[in-house]
Amino acid sequence: MYLAYKDQPNLLAQLDLHNTPGQYLTEHFGFVPLGMTLHVIFASESNGQFVYNIKEVTIVEDHIITIATDNMEITSKEDLIDRINALN
Q: Give the tens place of pLDDT for each residue, 19-68.
A: 677 766 666 666 678 898 999 999 999 888 999 999 999 989 888 888 88
pLDDT in tens, 33-46: 889 899 999 999 98
Cα separation, 28 vs 32, in Å, equals 10
Work out whether strand 49-58 and strand 73-75 pair parallel, antiparallel, or are unpaired. antiparallel
- Alpha-carbon distance values, 68 to 10, 14, 42 (Å): 26, 19, 10
